[in-house]
Every structure is written in structure tokens, then in C-alpha cells.
Amino acid sequence: MSQSFRAFTGKAWPATAAPGPQSALAALARLSDPNHSILIRALLDREALLNARPVVPFAGLSAAPSAYAMVTDRSERVREEAAFKFLEFRERWRKRLAWIQLGPFLQRNQWYQAVDGGFAAAGKGTRKDSKMLYLQSLHDMASDCERQVSFLSAHMFRLQGDLAAVWHRESVRDDRSKLLPALEAALRGGEAEIFKRLRLSLGDLAQETFMERVGKWDKRIHANEEDLFRVMAWPWQHPRYRSGFEGFMETFADVAEALSAAMFSHYEAKWNLFLRGLSPLQQTLALAASANPSEPAA
């Protein structure tokens, strides 16, 4: 993700310090649905009251082997679909951003200015000019790219619901076995909101990056309109791309695809952790924490 971000924006990925234990707990609390937090507190309190009587712990409390196997199968299919969707997206926009299609459109909108010796870009390259050029050339592409991420996100969110249903049927037997499912349910909405914000920020990232990096263009003269077209989005001009517009699309798609991959990895790791269940030691620690809380429950 950081490499894709740097290639597209020319900037390093924003650095953040690793959170300490208290900060991590505070972040979890902010993600949690208050209603599920109340349920978790009630379940822990009831288990603490019952803890005096003999209980035979068993490994993998709330474990769900069937749901665990389902994660690997379904998430692999979503990854394959993501690869196919982005391949289709790139092929579609390579054609639309080619000189033969986009070039005449920009010509009709008077972006090429005839000067002595050839052609130069119209305007002065102000932020207003850069924004107008972006809106007329790349805005629809960025919106389409965001739709691909939205489509894949919807697949993952549906998969979460399916996994949770199988998990509950397979593992929930008593109050204790409800703890992990309740924790997952409490966090699910907050997780979804984080990825939604990231997805919705893609359009703004594309526009602001174009306006910032293109900057004020000079009146460099080119022999013909096609040569001018190739370098109008000059920060993304590269020998492997036919124009800077294509380079912008390819590197932006890299960012969107990396975001989708990060989302898939997060949910795979989350479900692989939850669906293994709690070991006896983890159960003991959870109940001890509920019996001696250091802070009021969230």
C-alpha cells in the first residue's frame, strides 16, 4: 500500500506510531457498538458469578471449524474476482484515455493552443485550470475505480454476515460461548465504517493529487497535438505508459487495488483469529479481567 501511494502521490505514506495497550483499547471502544458492549459486560458478569463452581474448560471455546474452512474458500474467490475486476477496469480505461478517444475530446474543449512552432497547453496551469483538466479527463475514471472497490467491499460485508451465521449455529451453546461472537458483532460496524471512509476518500485523493502535482505548466511547445497530449499529465508520464493520463490511471488503480487487498487481509486475519476460539488460558484471563476491572466498562 505504501509503495502504491508513493508512486501515485509522490509522497510517503503517513507515518503513525504503534498504539500502546491503553490506546489500542480506546480505539476498540470507539469502534464498538454500545449495545453489544453492554451484552459483553453482562455475559462477563454472569460468568464471574458462576466462576466459583467447578467448570471444566475446553480448548477452542467458540471455535467453528466449518466457518473457518469457509473463510479460506470464500475469501480466495473474492480475491480472484478482485483481480478480474481491476484487470477489466484497466483495459477499459486504457482505451478511453488513449489519444484516439480522449485527444479529440480535449481538442474540442480547446485545451490545445496553436502557437508559433507548434502547440502548447491552453491556460496558465492555475489550480482552477488543473481542476478543469482533471474533471474533463480523469474524474469519471476515478469514480469508476471507486465503484470497483465498493463492489468488492459489499462482497466482503456479505461474507461477514454469512460467516457469523455459520459460527453462531456451530459454536454458541451457553453464555460463555457467546462472548467471542458478541465481541465480533460489536466491532463489525466500526470496521465497516473505517473501510467506507477510506473508499470514499479515493475520489478526493485523485483530484487533489492531480491538482497538486501537475502544478503550473509552462508554455513548452510541442510539434503536434498528440505529443502535447502525452505530456499534459506529466508527473505520471513514464516509458511504459502511452501518456501521463494513462500513467495516472494505472498508479491510481494500484492504490485502489492495494486498499482492497488490505481490506481482504484484515478480514481474513480477523476471522482466522476469532474462529479458532479461545484457549483455556485465554478464557481464564478474560474472566479474571471481568472479575477485577481496572476501569469502568465502555
For residue range 39-73, list pLDDT tens digits in order.
555 545 555 444 544 443 334 577 888 888 888 88
Encode pLDDT of 145-194 as tens digits: 999 999 999 999 999 999 999 988 888 887 778 888 888 888 888 889 99
In the prediction, which pLDDT does 281 show? 41
Structural domain includes residue 114: no
Residues 7, 82, 190, 278, CA torsion sign = negative
In the prediction, which pLDDT does 232 show? 93
**Cβ atoms < 10 Å from Cβ of 211:** 17
Structural domain includes residue 21: no
In the prediction, which pLDDT does 65 show? 86
Encode pLDDT of 233-258 as tens digits: 999 999 999 999 999 999 999 999 99
Average pLDDT over residues 64-84: 90
Count of domains for the chain: 1
Confidence of residue 196 (pLDDT cuts 50, 70, 90): very high
C-alpha cell belonging to residue 71: 473463510
Average pLDDT over residues 261-288: 73
Structural domain includes residue 28: no
Structural domain includes residue 207: yes
pLDDT score of 200 more than 90:
yes
In the prediction, which pLDDT does 170 show? 86
Structural domain includes residue 172: yes
Q: Which amino acid is at 41?
A: R
Sequence-distant (6+) residues with CB within 8 A of 203 are 142, 143, 146
Tell me the whole-structure pTM to 2 decimals. Answer: 0.81
pLDDT score of 226 more than 80:
yes
Contact 170, 15 (CB under 8 A): no
Structural domain includes residue 167: yes
Contact 138, 211 (CB under 8 A): no
CA–CA separation, 237 and 230 (whole Å): 7
Please state which of the ranges 31-35, 202-206, 286-290 shows the lowest mean pLDDT.
286-290
Residues 99, 144, 259, 90, CA torsion sign = negative
Domain around 85: 37-51+62-109+125-291
3-state class of 295 per DSSP?
Answer: coil
In the prediction, which pLDDT does 237 show? 93
C-alpha cell belonging to residue 266: 484484515
CA–CA separation, 295 and 26 (whole Å): 12
In the prediction, which pLDDT does 30 show? 66
CA–CA separation, 217 and 122 (whole Å): 10
pLDDT score of 32 more than 80:
no
Structural domain includes residue 189: yes
Q: What percent of the chain has a predicted confidence (pLDDT) above 70?
A: 77
> Residue 255: in which H helix or E strand, if any?
helix 244-274
Structural domain includes residue 273: yes
Contact 122, 111 (CB under 8 A): yes
Confidence of residue 284 (pLDDT cuts 50, 70, 90): very low
